[in-house]
Amino acid sequence: MKTLHTSSALLVLPFLVLLLTAEPVCPEEGDGNKGLKIAWDKNLLTVSGPKLPGGQLKVWYLEAYCRPGSTDRKWDQTVIGHETKLLEADADGRRVVLECTLKDGVKVRHEIRAGADEVDFRLIAHNPTDKPSQAHWAQPCIRVGEFTGRGQGDYLDKCFIFLDGKLTRMPTRDWSTKAMYTPGQTWAAPKVSRDDVNPRPLSPLTPDNGLIGCFSADEKTILATAWEPYQELFQGVITCIHSDFRIGGLAPGEKKSIRGKLYIVPADVEALLKRYRKDFPEHK
């Protein structure tokens, strides 16, 4: 028995030495302090990270749920009132779960996860009532002033969508200036009625895809966002950009799944498009 014990010790000893002398294992990008973190309070989703230009990104989450027929109508007649509550928040800042309750009884559950360079959104919209819901779309409002290093008066040329097969900075061609409310610019998604979008100037153009974004102050980083399905892309009036997700109404008892992404990545446009097409293959 003594011989066996000694032999076992000799076999284990090299492994103990290796463990004691090895370099610490670095966490994967996105773990610990390396990736993005999220927190939600008082209808603001805050994204933070050591490599995030501006230090923090604020998202009004959510600004509004909206009825159809909105393009030429006063905004207060379009909005469906709602309240949002926090259901869960992981201590590491990587995951929050929210629930929106609309005044018509619809419930929308939001599971939001932060990764190395993105925030992932997974939503379930459910109408538990016995009446149809007119909730057709909703607005996450991303405030990009800190990220772009610009204000409302001069951030426009930092922003972009995709037109004619390429990234196009704003103001795009055929920039519209007339609407019930100005300024701003709206691009309706394909197959979405032009009667059912934001009552800001409506572009005659249809985007190539669901991405809208902006460049950081030093032009080295891109912030971009996309949803599936989406109602519109929108450049707003509080130094913001929107990809507004589509619900399309809910029949009694109906449930619908919606997903979204917010990317904060190096300013490599082709890499961004490749990633978008992987995440949203229906738009290849």
The CATH number of residue 279's host domain is 2.70.98
CA–chain centroid gap for 277, Å, is 16
Say if residues 110 and 98 touch (Cβ distance below 8 Å): yes
Kindly state whether residue 187 falls inside one of the protein's structural domains: yes
Q: What residues contact 154, with CB distance under 8 A and at least 6 apart?
A: none
Q: Which residues in 154-173 are b (16+ Cβ under 10 Å) and which e? A: ebbebbbbbbeeebbebebe
Average pLDDT over every residue of 101-127 = 98
Kindly state whether residue 268 falls inside one of the protein's structural domains: yes
The amino acid sitting at 49 is G
Query: Based on the structure, what is the number of domains in the chain?
Result: 1
Q: What's the whole-number average pLDDT of the chain? A: 91
For residue 21, with 0-12 CB atoms within 10 Å meaning exposed, 13-18 middle and 19 or more buried, which class applies?
exposed
Kindly state whether residue 6 falls inside one of the protein's structural domains: no
Statement: residue 162 has pLDDT above 50? yes
Kindly state whether residue 220 falls inside one of the protein's structural domains: yes
Say if residues 67 and 80 touch (Cβ distance below 8 Å): yes
Model confidence, pTM? 0.88
Kindly state whether residue 269 falls inside one of the protein's structural domains: yes
Q: Residue 115's domain spans which residues?
A: 28-283
Place of tokens 């629930």: 99
pLDDT tens, position by position, 48-85: 999 999 999 999 999 999 999 999 999 999 999 999 99
pLDDT tens, position by position, 4-39: 444 444 444 444 433 344 443 333 444 456 799 999
What local confidence, expressed as pLDDT, does residue 70 receive?
A: 98
Kindly state whether residue 106 falls inside one of the protein's structural domains: yes
Specify the pairing of strand 185-188 against strand 107-114. Answer: unpaired
- Percentage of residues of the chain with pLDDT beyond 90: 86
pLDDT tens, position by position, 245-279: 999 999 999 999 999 999 999 999 999 999 999 99
Kindly state whether residue 10 falls inside one of the protein's structural domains: no
What local confidence, expressed as pLDDT, does residue 34 receive?
A: 78
Statement: residue 183 has pLDDT above 80? yes
Confidence of residue 283 (pLDDT cuts 50, 70, 90): low
Confidence of residue 282 (pLDDT cuts 50, 70, 90): confident
Average pLDDT over every residue of 138-153 = 97
Say if residues 234 and 244 touch (Cβ distance below 8 Å): yes
Kindly state whether residue 234 falls inside one of the protein's structural domains: yes
What local confidence, expressed as pLDDT, does residue 85 receive?
A: 98
